[in-house]
Structure formats: structure tokens, C-alpha cells
Structure 1
Amino acid sequence: MSENAQNQSDPTLDAAAAEQPAPESATSQPPGSAADWQAQVATLSAKNAELVDQYLRAQAEMQNVRRRSEEEVTKARKYALDSFAESLLPVCDSLEAGLHHPDQTVEQIRAGAEATLRQLKQALERNRIVEINPAAGTKFDPHQHQAISVVPAEQDPNTVVTVLQKGYVIADRVLRPALVTVTAPK
């Protein structure tokens, strides 16, 4: 290419350069006045203060909820036996009343003991404590029964023959398994 061709400018390049805006200088001001900026800063500061206040209130509320929950758990643990103890008080009263009458007959003592036992069973049932007393021939359940011995019997294998001691369940959790004898496999 000749020097003359290099010095000549391309008309398409000149038109493209004319269409592009001139770059802003580093010292130019953004659009808007100082008053606009100050109003926007004040608005954002107020919004920030409102959000900080909401955050602090939420934190305080969470601490209050946590404290109340801890107090309720503490009270529940402390007074968990209130209902159970209250239902046992009539049983205690019946036993004391029976002991205050030394000149009772055997039949009266037996009747009083049976009545007191009924009261005790009712108190246990009110507090969801249910006895495990499997009938003879019931399938042995290792979750509710404890086999003390295996005996030969005319029943199906691995079934309860006799109950040596009743078991108890509270709300589907075994407090004490029933002690049973079980039939031997044939």
C-alpha cells in the first residue's frame, strides 16, 4: 500500500466513530442535583433504621420464645408426676383408713384390700399404665414378655403357658415385661 492510501481515511470508519458517544471524562458529575442525592440518602437511612429495628425486635422475640419454651420444659419436668401422684392419693387414704380399724374380720380386710386394689388399677389406667397379662396360648412376644422357662405342653410351640408376673406398658412403652413360661418347640 502506498503512503497516500494510508493517509486517506475510510468513510465507513468515520461514520461509525461519529455515531458513538464521546466517553465521559473522569471529572463529569452524575445526573441529578445534590439535593436529590441527599433525599435519596435520607430515605435509605430511614429504611435502614427501620430494618435494623425490625431485626432487633425479631431477635428479642426469639429470645423471649426460647426463654418461655425453656420455662415450660422445666415446669413440665418438675410437675410431670402431679396427675399421677394425685390419682394415687385415694389409694393411700384407703390403706390408711384400713389400718385404723384393728378389730376387723378377715373378710373385711380382704374386701378393703380388693377395693384398694381396684382404686390402684384405676389410677394406673387413668395415667395410661396398662398391665400386660397374656392369656395361655398367646404367641410369645419378646417385646412384651420375658420367658423365664421353657416347658413341654400340648399348645403350639413358642406360646405362653403361664404368667408368673404381670408386665406393664405406659403409652406403648414397656415399663416391665410380663414374666412367662413358654412352650418348648416340638
Structure 2
Amino acid sequence: MNEDQKRPEEAVETETLDAGSPESEKLEEAAVADNQDPDPEIRIAELEGEVQALKDQVLRAHAEMDNVRKRTAKEVVDARVYAVEKFAGDLLNVSDNLARALGALPDEERDALTEAGKNLLGGIEMTQKELHTVLARHGVTAIDAAPGAAFDPNQHQAVSQIPSDQPSGAIAETFQTGWKIGERVLRAAMVAVSAGKPS
């Protein structure tokens, strides 16, 4: 049999496949399938691991965003509360001067004042009271440093220790009023601490 008489089946077998033909694409897919991992369980485990890693990333991103939101909200609140801190600190000297002016006149001499003197004294007292009201409206309040109150080193500054009728370690006397804004101390109260009853 000469070459011209070859059977059509053999002729088909010796033909080369054109790139892009359907037969060529099927062969490429088969080759790719042969190169893939034959165990689908391993591939499922890999995909589950990737899903878990992505879930962790999303949870961390949400947690970070929540932290940023809380931090920002706290900063806004602090800015509102402590915005007047420096101004309030400067006003404390005014309050001290008013207190000194009122303390300069002993109680027994107040009755001897003329009508004009009593009006002046009443005006100073009203000014001091209004100042304290305005300070309180903005979160600035006096620190409790009354005789007998417990000494707190975070809020009180001990300048001396004296014998007194107050329990040992308690505040015996206040020399200067302390102030705080919110939870921050603007100025510690200047006090004397009791050393106990005199012997």
C-alpha cells in the first residue's frame, strides 16, 4: 500500500492540532488537571485556612476601628471638660484674693460696720459666691480639705504636722483651698496634718 492509500483514521492521527482548536483546549485542561493536587481534602483545608486568616484580619480591623472610635470619643469628652483648665487655673488667684479680703475682717467687727461697709462686704461675698458658681458650672470644684477630712496625697499638700483634736493623719487645718477640674487636680489644697491630740 502506498502512502496515498493510507486509511483516513491514520491520516487523522498524524495530523497536528492547531493551537486554539477545541481539541487543543481539552488537552491543555487535561494537562492542568494532571498537575493539580489529586487530593481535594488538602485543597479544602488550604481554602479553610485562607478563610480563617481573612476572618482574623476582618476581626482585627473591626477591633482597631472600635478602639479608634472609643479613643476619639474620650478625647472629645476630655477636650470639653478640660478646655478651660488654664483659664480656670488663672482665676484661682482671684478666688484667693476674695477669700483673703473676707477673712481680713473678724466676725466680731462686722456688726460695727456702717451701712456702706456692710453693703461692701455683702458685695464681696456675692462676687465670691458667683465666681464659685461659674467655676462649678464648668466642672471646677473645691477639694474637700475641711479639718477632720482624710488626708489624700493626690489632692492635699501637707506643709506641716501639728498637734490637734483631729485624729492623727487627718487634716488639722487648711491654709489654701485646693481645686480640681473633672478628675484632675488644678491645685492641691495646702494643709496641716494632725499629729494627734497634744499630750
Place the TM-score, normalised by the shorter chain, in its bin: 0.3 to 0.5
Q: TM-score, normalised by structure 1?
A: 0.45
Q: Normalising by structure 2, what TM-score? A: 0.43
